[in-house]
Amino acid sequence: MDRLLALILLSGISAKAQIITESFGTGVNQFSIDFVQIGNPGNAADTTGSPSPAGSVSYTYNIGKYEISREMVLKASSAGGLGLTLADLTFYGGNGMKRPASGVSWNEAARFVNYLNSSTGHQVAYNFVTSGGNDYISLWATGLYSGNNQFRHKDSYYFLPSLDEWYKAAYGSPNGTWYNFSNGSDSPPQPVSGGLSGAVYGGQSGPADINDAGALSAYGTMGQGGNVWEWTETAFDGVNDSESETRELRGGAWNNNNTQLDANFKERNFGDPSREVFGSDGFRVASVPEPSALSLLAVGLGGLALVRRRRS
């Protein structure tokens, strides 16, 4: 399958305005994912949130502008024979195809990511040695992973965002400022049931469509606060060295209050990687950027001085 990479610069200088659309599957199973680029590599970590420090990433990467939808998971599962299942949200606003793919375990999200890689000719990210949709991964052997992250293959293109990658996209900004909430503010967003302002939380009746889930972060992502909790790649203890250890979820859901949306949330959410019973658990994906995308970003940012400010 030929992968379509459409890079659109909506403004000459804004990193959050850059949208990268990538297509997957064929025929009735074709779908696309919009990514935004997270620059400012080597940024200083946030030391005021939880955990502390968090959010320092040494490289440029892409992350989904939106959460992964039910439609995307169902099409990938059909095309790849993945056997993925979703929660029934009949009593929470319905099972519309643009709703976030909730009730997906970490293991199933990792299967979806592997399909993105294998179907586009890339190295898979996660080492599944069995065929069950909700089976645990195996750790990669020495030399096949980077640093202490034994979950992710070093040559993979698509992957679940690590805690630091997720945190930076949600609470960081191109100029290095850190915010408490994922709408580029230190004040809680207004609770809404959908739309392009506020965030979907505060006892709403269910999640909103992924492209209607509130205000954007400073980097241009939507729904990292509220809507559904999102799996990160990272184990709760921060060291990815056991196949069955609990993984961290971030961002809160439609039925939470603003405490769960806050970067300072101390009682961080975690779950067994096989957990698939919660209709409020979803995910988004990340990737490494194409060299051409980096070149275009450099042109767009030419001559712009980025000034780091402290968060008050």
Residue 69's Cβ-count burial label (10 Å; 0-12, 13-18, 19+) is buried
How many structural domains does the chain have? 1
Contact 102, 278 (CB under 8 A): yes
| Residues near 91 by beta carbon (within 8 Å), at least 6 away in sequence | none
Length of the chain, in residues: 312
Contact 104, 88 (CB under 8 A): no
Tell me the helix, strand and coil percentages in the chain, rounded to 5. Answer: 20, 20, 60
pTM: 0.90
Per-residue pLDDT of the chain (312 residues; tens, 9 = 90+): 343 444 333 333 344 447 999 999 999 999 999 999 999 999 999 999 999 999 999 999 999 999 999 999 999 999 999 999 999 999 999 999 999 999 999 999 999 999 999 999 999 999 999 999 999 999 999 999 999 999 999 999 999 999 999 999 999 999 999 999 999 999 999 999 999 999 999 999 999 999 999 999 999 999 999 999 999 999 999 999 999 999 999 999 999 999 999 999 999 999 999 999 899 999 999 999 875 544 444 444 433 332 222 233
End-to-end CA distance of the chain: 48
CATH number assigned to the domain comprising residue 108: 3.90.1580.10
Q: CA geometry: angle at 267 spanning 73 and 108, to 5°?
A: 20
Query: Residue 75: which domain range?
Result: 1-312
